[in-house]
A and B are shown apart, each in its own frame.
Chain A
């Protein structure tokens, strides 16, 4: 079981080469990350294969100029790595069975439904708001069992990008009830963004 968790979303615009995103969102993410200070930092996000990952933050696939790196990181890990900046950290693609100790501060990178509004990437699905509300409730309760028992089938339908990361995070968070704070629960561009901390 890890020692603390921070939850952030993974819009590509948070990558520096794509502008770094809205200052307010970025600063909330950094605020959440601050609860991990002093721990062994691990970024947890969706990847191609479960397990430890090495690679380069590379935004060319999303239209940034420059040469494509030979080993581009998956989006969520790239965003997490970017937010941690020059702090030493490891990258973990969700879904594996790695054991993480309580010296680890886990940065969980994932998004809610991309069907929150008419202009959302996946258009409006009326079920999306309720689904994301259940994510927010799980985060606010500090309850790993709620976060780990989100409806996977409906979630896939609703283009919930954070499912894999949250499922893994629930395992690494054990059975404890955490002291939870939700800093952001919003969908300003039609995609559910959550920023939260469990300490």
Chain B
């Protein structure tokens, strides 16, 4: 069972919708930087059926420095307004800063998506103190907002499994509920495309750790390189990877395209036999 501050999520595969309060993220390029645009995007993804909304104030790639104060400015008011309007949705904030995590959790967020592999480990105790959840990410042992250069692993899957089980146990030891901890292998983060493909193919190794697996695949460079396509044209590749990971038991998918991802997951869940068809009349009437 997955739960975040008392909000229990269904047993199905789940979608975490991406909402960027940033002027420069790689796919939306500032489309939801404005407050109203960000709030509209939240309304839309909730209406589409997203289980978790993930609000970010700093783009992942290297770029203009965003101070903690500026980051908090961007995400805090969105968290407050969304919390009031959508009390039931699981609200996540994408941040690697413990200070920002503390502010948004105080404002009602449920989950910290610590996408850079816990550079500030006190984030765990901050999450624990609010009874909130945490995403433990494998970022290739790189500092936040850097890109991999000729990074090498003897066995990338083994490295990810060891690192993530270590981080998850660290979070649990700090007091985060075990059913509120997710692990994310961090596609593209500290990895080349072949590393990300191996992690996709061997999702079951991550699932076998027993920790629920979050996959952040949406329109990323590993999809782009496989298909030689820019972010605008990476939907099909993303959905193919989504299906492969869901089939192997990954639980949560961080996605730009909520409705499409939900359809893929419902289809995969039905094939796995964990969800019933919405209609089953063909040949049975």
Contact = CB atoms under 8 A, between A and B. Distances in A.
Interface of A: 11-13, 18-19, 62, 65, 121, 188-191
A62 B280 CA distance: 11
Interface string B248-285: 00000000000000000000000001001100110111
B273 A65 contact: yes
Contacts of A191: 285
Contacts of A12: 284
A188 B277 CA distance: 19
A19 B273 CA distance: 13
Contacts of B281: 13, 189
Could you say which of B273, B276, B277, B284 has the most chain A C-beta atoms within 10 Å of its C-beta? B284
Interface SS of A by simple majority: loop
A19 B280 contact: yes
A121 B284 CA distance: 9
Nearest to A111: B285
Question: Interface residues of B toward A: which range?
Answer: under 10
Contact of A189 (B276, B277, B285): B285
A123 to B, nearest CB: 14
Nearest to A191: B285
Given A121-B285, A190-B285, A13 B280 contact: yes
Contacts of A188: 285
Could you say which of A18, A65, A188, A191 has the most chain B C-beta atoms within 10 Å of its C-beta? A18
Contacts of B285: 11, 13, 121, 188-191
B284 A18 contact: yes
A190 B285 CA distance: 8
A86 to B, nearest CB: 23
Given A12-B284, A191-B285, 14 more contacts: A11-B285, A13-B280, A13-B281, A13-B284, A13-B285, A18-B284, A19-B276, A19-B277, A62-B283, A65-B273, A121-B283, A121-B285, A189-B281, A190-B285
Contacts of A121: 283, 285
Contacts of B276: 19
A121 B276 CA distance: 22
Contact of B280 (A18, A65, A190): A18
Q: Which 8 A-B pairs have the closest CB atoms?
A: A189-B285, A13-B284, A12-B284, A11-B285, A191-B285, A19-B280, A65-B273, A189-B281
Nearest to A59: B284
Contacts of B280: 13, 18-19
Could you say which of A11, A19, A65, A191 has the most chain B C-beta atoms within 10 Å of its C-beta? A19
